[in-house]
Amino acid sequence: MNRGRFTESAGTVALAAWMAFAALTAVLVSDQAGPLSPDRGLLSWSVAHRPPVAVALARGLTATGTGAVPYVLAALAGLIAGSTARRRLTAAVLAVACLGAGQAVRYGVMNLVARARPPRHDWQTQASGWSFPSGHTTTSALTAGLLILALALRAPRGRTVLCALVALWAAGVGLTRVYLGVHWFTDVVGGWLFAVGWLALCTGAAARRLPARHLPGPPEPGPPHPSDPADGPVESHAPKDPHRRGRSRPA
């Protein structure tokens, strides 16, 4: 792994995501007219398209975005990312810590913004707390990001399909929050942006701080050791001509 290039890319992604998140938050805080037009439109569409089977499926999918499931998947991501037993344990601990800390920071932001949820009579599942950013969305997106990073590093075959399935799971969890009426669509967008920014921040910090032996990929090249053999042939190993033994070189 090229440590410098990776941390630079992670920093760029984190900065872009946080700037977009801050802009969205500013719009929502300063908006005195209530929900934005896309929020109202998507909630109205959801309320009008709720057959019982679809609601049951949405409830089942949304339940995977909280509780123990994301932490189990985050630990699994760490186990996939490591190449040895010790590295797997380290990566699993860091992945779970990234998820837990992200949830705590999101909770603090949610209480600072204090955005109201959609009307309760439109809910099709239980919810608590303020609305922005969506907790289920943030948690599932963070978990999916950790899994995608691990699969991209270690899965030898079929990783494109696996990464796509994981991304679809996280997107589905976020969209069910709108479909079930407990979040506005901009709450979900805010959760996605928060997750991208937090994940980029955590992975960049890990790549910068961890010893090189804990990072995936081949070790970075270092200065040659004095005892390393020279690139060219050594005099003692040069072939000898048996016909010249004991003879002097011609002038």
Q: What local confidence, expressed as pLDDT, does residue 236 receive?
A: 45
The whole-number pLDDT of residue 157 equals 74
**List of the chain residues with pLDDT < 50:** 213-214, 216-222, 224-238, 246-251
Residue 142: CB partners within 8 Å, gap ≥ 6? 70, 74, 98, 99, 102, 103, 195, 198, 199
Average pLDDT over the chain, rounded to whole? 85
Distance, CA of 225 to CA of 11 (rounded, Å): 33
Q: Give the C-alpha separation, 140 to 122, whole Å.
A: 23
Query: What is the dihedral sign for C-alpha 182, 187, 189, 194?
Result: negative
User: How many other C-beta atoms are found inside a 10 Å radius of the C-beta of residue 214?
Assistant: 17
pLDDT digits (tens, 9 = 90+) for 7-38: 888 889 999 999 999 999 999 988 666 789 99
Q: Look at residue 208 in the predicted model and tell me its pLDDT.
A: 77
- What per-residue confidence (pLDDT) applies to 10? 87
**Residue 246 host element (H or E):** none
**Six-digit token string for 67:** 């509780």
pLDDT tens-digit profile of 146-179?
999 999 888 667 788 999 999 999 999 999 999 9
- How many C-beta atoms surround the C-beta of residue 20 within 10 A? 17
Query: To 10 degrees, the CA torsion angle through 84, 85, 87, 91?
Result: 130
pLDDT for the residue 20: 97
Res 34: pLDDT: 76
Q: Give the Cα separation of 115 and 134 in Å (integer).
A: 11
Closest CA to 180 of 123, 139, 128, 133: 123
The long-range contacts involving 107-112, CB below 8 angstroms and separated by at least 24 positions, are: 107/135, 109/25, 109/133, 109/194, 110/135
